[in-house]
Structure formats: C-alpha cells, structure tokens
Structure 1
Amino acid sequence: MQAVALKVVAYLCQNQTQKKQRKLNMKKFIQTNFWQILGSLFGGIAGYFYWRDIGCSTGTCPITSKPLNSIIYFAVLGYLMIGTIAKARVKR
C-alpha cells in the first residue's frame, strides 16, 4: 500500500515539474517568435476583412471564395513577411 502511495506522490511531483517545464518552454517560444505570431494574427484579421469586403462573389476564386481559405492564406503571408523583416532587423 505504501509503495503505491509513494508511486502516486512521485508521479504527481513529476507531473508538476513537467507542467512547469512546458510553461517555460511555451514562454520561451512566444518570446523568440513574438513578431511572427503577431504577423500571423494581423494577417488572419486582414484576410477576413479582405474576404468580407473584396471577396469573390461567384465562388470560383480559390483563395477568397471561403473565409477560412482567405484567413489562412493571409495569416501565412503575415507570418512570412513579418518573420523576414524581424530576422533582417536582428542581423543588423
């Protein structure tokens, strides 16, 4: 019975340590990729407004016929553009 209790306590302690490590890893990821994340958010928002205001009325346009396609496309563009600018600024 004590062996099981010790295993449970060890598991819980290990689980807490893993949670802290994941939290630190996520914080580091966000800090290192802040501009890329921000660029993809702005790109996704811009993609939605592009679909809403300009979009394709016939439904034959592959990117602007659906809002999800437009959001994803512009989010990727924002990620790539801001990522390139951020990397160029770091190299200077």
Structure 2
Amino acid sequence: MNILKNQKLIIIGATLGAIVGFFYWKEVGCLTGSCAIKSVWYNMTAYGLLLGGLFGSIIQGQFQKKK
C-alpha cells in the first residue's frame, strides 16, 4: 500500500495516458495500416501509458523538490 501512495501521480498519469492513447487510436488512428504505432490499438495504448507515466514522473519529481 505504501508504494501506491508514493507513486500516485505516476499511476494516475499512466492510466490517463493509456485512455488517451486508446481514444487517439480510435478517433485518429491510421487508415492505411502502414503506421507502426497507430495502426493497432494495443500499441497506441501502450505508447500512451508510457508517455503518461513519464509525464506523471516528471510532475511527481517537481512536487517532491518543493517539499
């Protein structure tokens, strides 16, 4: 439970990134199928998860520096 409290912003960022990645694939996507990341839903969701987690980590680092 302590890990969840310490990594809360990273988990929230990763979750939001995965949701945004999925909806980006669904709405924009790649019509031809030649795009490596955007052509399959699970690739775009994983990419969004990764970017959201990294963004959450950056924000968490900024909050920890202030405390």
Q: TM-score, normalised to structure 2's length?
A: 0.94
Moved segments of 4+, more than 4 Å = none
Name which structure has the greater RCO, CA cutoff 8 Å, separation 6+. Answer: 2
5+ unaligned residues in a row in structure 1: which ranges? 1-26
Aligned with residue 85 of structure 1, among 55, 59, 65? 59
| 1:49 CA displacement | 0.3
Q: 2: CA distance between counterparts of 1:40 and 1:82?
A: 7
* Structure whose CA Rg is larger: 1
Q: Which residue of 2 aligns with 1:50?
A: 24
Within 5 A, what are the aligned runs for 1:1-92? Answer: 27-92=1-66
Q: TM-score, normalised to structure 1's length?
A: 0.70
Q: Note the aligned Cα RMSD (angstroms).
A: 0.6
Identity of aligned residues (%): 33
| 1:85 CA displacement | 1.1
More helix by share: 1
